[in-house]
């Protein structure tokens, strides 16, 4: 390393070592900066968008002209602004003054730049009480609201469609309490997932969910959308891990139920209604969540397989051989791998050859290193001797673990670098799991729009085999109604035919607001509408979305 | 040279992604229940040995021997080296009690004894281990053996008995020529180590691993240096946010920066 002595004297030994090693593992840097692209400390979204050269993004209502503003909602008036200013300090509010569109844009547009609204006011309160006052006022004045967390959603649920007021949880980010014995964490809704995880890491615990956007997504948003992610297989969904919530209801009431009890069979479990309600029933302001101990020993292996049949077989064997230490079972196909290779592994070695149709990442987490490694080795031996896998690699250190994960976690990023991505997040029974990718590819080929130099350049699948959840991605040169018409409603009908779900973990948002019928019966939908009517009679909470 | 035998050093160190903590007695860093890995520079050394074998062929590079001096758990790192492609491994077992006091001179003496036993004509070591950052073992070993040394290598060419090594030095690159036998220490940009593949991991479990103790080798590893204390670096003071440019300027002025 050049002038290492100078560096040593200059910045001290510890940072010196970091410098070397960060150079040394340059992939790792790429990996971290990848994450930081849509992930970092508070205000990230704003910072990222500021870096984006001012390009004109269409308003969602221009792209989809059939969407009409509800005339029952009031438009923002100077007196409304005055009221907001009486509740919020100057750095807790952004008001449209005619020439600060750049300040508003990060809140008005989603990170994929697919949905853009035209809100004129962003409120960033620091306390639940402020939110309660704001919401009460909005309800009395019929001003529509969009609750917004880290703005990392994929279905346009967290950004306005027209002029809804944005209430962001950016400043609501205090950790309230942590119990070292029970592992229950109580915190504000605007805490960033990764910040919470780092806080818990110092105490030997971890958050029970992990997803690509963890550097910017807020725990409140995770709960409001019932986010799934990479570790659902091991720790279960938020419906199980959330012990209590604090919610501001549309009339401004604070529904305080930040219980830390694991068992509580008294009455209807109201918190469950808000988990996955996508901000249509109120604003989650506080979360009480059960956190598991951080595993002492983590191993990651990636395998290459020749058929999806073998992927299922490997999953089956993993459940038997790895059992309680299995913490993730993820898959991707060769098209996804080639894209990741092209965008994220340039100038560096891909850990595996890109010549097999399927790849699987298996992660084990446990408390005893020797025990876990022995299990993993037995598992690998069975896979090899049975001929289920063709090849594979096992991470030897944490950097390799990160690089193997990058092959999986980097897929959405690589996808968005390749073009405009149509993303479908489906739950599909395992036996026909991968067929949707093949059927969709053939359908687009038959229509003559998929191939080299055609409007659609790539169709690939990846996702959580362990949870029966596939992400079908279609990369186009640009979003166009013609392509959309070929994909939808075909993809939803296909999913309904196999009794799958049209939204496994991304939610309905704006994108799938009219699609719930593919996965839920009319009777169920009508009860849902009654619930919405009861809790939010004026319909001010996140309108135009979720259930139409 | 048609009979090249390469000895490669493998040190078990705390994984570089782990945040190290000083122990309560302030005598060392905490190593219990902490993820350990192969020293990254040693990983580069092994990768280079394997690449030499792939490039020159098995007829020229007869054998790659991975060697470690450390406690019993160091065998994990030897298995990693074997899974990457080393042919066999030697473990000089140092007890858990005396290992924290093992110093570069002790390691160099142990390696010298192994060199005398195995008679390799090339020793490749990492330029330093990322735990103590001593960067001494390779140089001391060359001195003890009275062999030429090429440290901080970023490129290695072997042609018959002659060796050409490019080194990264302040201000640029230096290319030096030498003869085998020789000691080389590896720098960061020499290569990018491979991942251990599944079939090779399986094979590695069956590759031979020989064990010695310092007594077997007649080496005295008594420490020559004493660690007086280990302390954390001073913690960084947090920054603050300012509300306006005026505020910033007044803060800068009061700090004497303007």
Residue contact B198–A25, C-beta within 8 A: no
pTM: 0.80
The reported pLDDT for the residue numbered A397 is 86
The token pair at A388 is 């289920």
pLDDT tens for residues A39-91? 333 333 444 444 444 457 889 998 888 889 999 999 999 999 999 999 999 99
B198: nearest CB among A20, A296, A384: A384
| Element containing residue B204 per DSSP (H, E) | helix B198-204
Residues A139-174 have pLDDT tens digits of 999 999 999 999 999 999 999 999 999 999 999 999
Q: Are A395 and B195 within 8 A, CB to CB?
A: yes
Query: Residue A271: how many CA atoms within 13 Å on its side-chain side?
Result: 27
Locate tokens 């066999």: which residue?
B88
pLDDT reading at A205 higher than 80: yes
Instruction: Collect all residues of chain B within an 8 Å Cβ-Cβ radius of residue A91.
Output: 243
Q: How many residues does chain B have?
A: 258
Chain A partners of B37 at a C-beta cutoff of 8 Å? 396-398
List chain B residues with CB under 8 Å of A24: 16, 40, 188
Sheet holding B209-212, edge to edge: B172-179, B162-169, B149-159, B182-186, B122-126, B4-9, B61-70, B88-93, B209-212
A301–B198 C-beta distance less than 8 A: yes
Phi-psi region of B256 (alpha: psi -120 to 50; beta: other; left: phi over 0): left
User: In this complex, is the C-beta atom of B198 within 8 Å of any C-beta atom belonging to chain A?
Assistant: yes
Which of the residues B10, B12, B15, B16 would you substitute to probe the A interface, choosing the one with the greatest number of A C-beta atoms within 10 Å? B16
- pLDDT the model gives residue A321: 95
Angstrom distance (rounded) from CA B60 to CA B3: 5
Angle B198-B203-B208 (CA atoms, 0-180°, nearest 5)? Answer: 145
Fold of A297-411: Alpha-Beta Plaits (3.30.70)
The CATH architecture to which A38-294+509-548 belongs is 2-Layer Sandwich (3.30)
pLDDT beyond 50 at A352: yes
Cross-chain residue pair A17–B168, CB shorter than 8 Å? no
Residue A427 has a CB neighbour count (10 Å cut-off) of 22
Confidence of residue A2 (pLDDT cuts 50, 70, 90): very low
Q: pLDDT (tens digit, 9 = 90+) per residue, B204-256?
A: 989 999 999 999 999 999 999 998 999 988 888 888 888 889 989 998 998 88
Q: Do B188 and A23 touch (CB under 8 A)?
A: yes
> Does residue B202 belong to the interface with chain A, where contact is any CB pair within 8 Å?
yes
* Distance, C-alpha B174 to centroid of its chain: 22
**How does the average pLDDT of chain A come out, rounded?**
88
The verdict on B188 touching A (C-beta cutoff 8 Å) is yes
Residue ranges, comma separated, of all CATH 3.30.70.2190 domains in chain A are 297-411
Q: Which CATH fold topology does A420-506 show?
A: Alpha-Beta Plaits (3.30.70)
Which residues of chain B does A13 touch, with a Cβ-Cβ cutoff of 8 Å?
133, 233
Q: Which residues of B touch A296 (CB under 8 A)?
A: 33
Give the pLDDT confidence score for residue A55 in this predicted structure.
Answer: 58
Are B20 and B14 contacting, i.e. CB atoms less than 8 angstroms apart? yes
- Asked if A495 and A439 count as a contact pair (C-beta separation under 8 A), the reply is no
Chain B residues inside the 8 Å CB shell of A350: none
Residue A70 pLDDT = 95
Give the residue on A whose Cα is nearest the Cα of B36: A397
Among A326, A186, A330, residue whose Cα is nearest residue A260: A186
Q: Which CATH number fits domain B4-254: 3.30.70.920, 3.40.50.620, 1.20.1090.10, 3.40.50.720?
A: 3.40.50.620
Which residues of chain A does CATH 3.30.465.10 include?
38-294+509-548
A→B contacts (Cβ < 8 Å), by residue, are 1-3, 12-14, 17, 20-21, 23-25, 91, 296, 301, 303, 348-349, 351-352, 377, 380-381, 383-384, 389, 391-400, 402, 404
Q: CATH 3.30.70.2740: which residues of chain A?
A: 420-506
State the Cα–Cα distance between residues A60 and B147, nearest whole angstrom.
Answer: 73
Q: Is the Cα dihedral A295, A296, A302, A305 positive or negative?
A: negative
Query: Average pLDDT for residues A170-185, to the nearest whole number?
Result: 96
């Amino acid at each position: 390393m050049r002038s290492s002595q100078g560096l040593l004297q200059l910045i001290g030994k510890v940072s010196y070592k970091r410098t070397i090693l960060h150079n040394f593992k340059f992939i790792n840097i790429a990996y971290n900066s990848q994450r930081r692209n849509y992930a970092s400390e508070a205000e990230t979204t704003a910072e990222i968008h500021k870096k984006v050269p001012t390009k004109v993004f269409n308003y969602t209502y221009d792209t989809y002209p059939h969407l009409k503003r509800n005339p029952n909602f009031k438009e923002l008036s100077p007196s409304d602004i005055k009221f907001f200013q009486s509740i919020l300090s100057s750095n807790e509010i952004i008001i449209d003054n005619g020439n600060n569109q750049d300040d508003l844009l990060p809140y008005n547009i989603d990170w994929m730049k697919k949905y853009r609204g035209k809100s004129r006011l962003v409120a960033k309160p620091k306390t639940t009480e402020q939110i309660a006052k704001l919401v009460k006022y909005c309800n009395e004045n019929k001003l529509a609201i969009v609750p917004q967390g880290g703005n990392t959603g994929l279905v346009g649920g967290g950004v306005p469609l027209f002029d809804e007021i944005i209430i962001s949880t950016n400043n609501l980010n205090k950790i309230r309490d942590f119990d070292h014995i029970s592992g229950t964490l109580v915190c504000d809704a605007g805490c960033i997932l990764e910040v919470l995880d780092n806080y818990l890491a110092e105490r030997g615990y971890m958050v029970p969910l992990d997803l690509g956007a963890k550097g910017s997504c807020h725990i409140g948003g995770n709960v409001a959308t019932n986010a799934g992610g990479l570790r659902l297989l091991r720790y279960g969904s938020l419906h199980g891990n959330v012990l209590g919530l604090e919610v501001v209801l549309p009339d401004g009431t604070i529904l305080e139920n930040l219980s830390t009890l694991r068992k509580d069979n008294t009455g209807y479990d109201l918190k469950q209604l808000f988990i996955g309600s996508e901000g249509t029933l109120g604003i989650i302001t506080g979360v009480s969540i059960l956190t598991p101990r951080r595993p002492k020993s983590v191993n990651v292996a990636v395998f290459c397989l020749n058929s999806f049949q073998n992927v299922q077989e490997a999953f089956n064997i993993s459940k038997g051989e790895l059992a309680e230490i299995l913490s993730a079972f993820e898959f991707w196909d060769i098209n996804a791998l080639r894209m990741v290779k092209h965008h994220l592994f340039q100038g560096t070695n891909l850990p595996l050859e890109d010549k097999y149709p399927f790849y699987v990442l298996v992660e084990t987490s446990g408390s005893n290193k020797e025990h876990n490694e022995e299990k993993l080795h037995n598992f690998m031996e069975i896979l090899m001797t049975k001929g289920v896998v063709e090849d594979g690699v096992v991470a030897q250190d944490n950097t390799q673990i990160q690089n193997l994960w990058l092959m999986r976690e980097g897929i959405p990023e690589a996808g968005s670098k390749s073009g405009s991505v149509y993303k479908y997040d489906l739950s599909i029974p395992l036996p026909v799991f991968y067929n949707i990718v093949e059927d969709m590819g053939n359908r687009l080929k038959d229509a003559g729009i998929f191939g080299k130099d055609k409007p659609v350049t790539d169709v690939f699948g990846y996702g959580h085999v362990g949870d029966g959840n596939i992400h079908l991605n279609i990369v186009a040169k640009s979003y166009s109604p013609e392509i959309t018409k070929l994909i939808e409603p075909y993809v939803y009908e296909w999913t309904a035919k196999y009794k799958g779900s049209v939204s496994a973990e991304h939610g309905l948002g704006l994108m799938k607001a009219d699609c719930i019928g593919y996965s839920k019966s009319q009777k169920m939908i009508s009860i849902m509408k009654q619930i919405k009517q009861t809790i939010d009679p004026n319909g001010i909470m996140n309108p135009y979305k979720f259930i139409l | 040279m048609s009979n090249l035998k390469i000895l490669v050093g493998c040190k078990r160190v705390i994984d570089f992604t782990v945040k190290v903590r000083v122990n309560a007695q302030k005598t060392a860093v905490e190593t219990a229940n902490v993820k350990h890995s192969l020293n990254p520079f040693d990983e580069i050394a092994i990768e280079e040995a394997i690449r030499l074998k792939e490039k020159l062929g098995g007829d020229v590079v007869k054998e790659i021997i991975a060697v470690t001096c450390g406690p019993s758990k160091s065998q994990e790192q030897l298995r990693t080296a074997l899974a990457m492609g080393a042919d066999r491994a030697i473990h000089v077992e140092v007890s858990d009690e005396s290992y924290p006091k093992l110093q570069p001179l002790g390691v160099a003496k142990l390696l010298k004894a192994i060199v005398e036993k195995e008679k390799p004509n090339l020793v490749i070591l990492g330029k330093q281990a990322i735990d103590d950052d001593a960067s001494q073992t390779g140089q001391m070993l060359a001195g003890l053996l009275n062999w030429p040394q090429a440290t901080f290598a970023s490129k290695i060419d072997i042609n018959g008995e002659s060796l050409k090594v490019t080194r990264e030095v302040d201000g640029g690159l230096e290319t030096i020529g030498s003869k085998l036998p020789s000691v080389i220490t590896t720098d960061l940009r020499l290569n990018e180590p491979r991942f251990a593949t599944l079939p090779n991991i399986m094979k590695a479990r069956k590759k031979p691993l020989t064990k010695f103790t310092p007594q077997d080798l007649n080496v005295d590893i008594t420490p020559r240096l004493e660690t007086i204390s280990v302390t954390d670096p001073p913690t960084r003071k947090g920054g603050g946010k300012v509300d306006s440019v005026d505020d910033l300027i007044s803060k800068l002025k009061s700090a004497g920066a303007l």
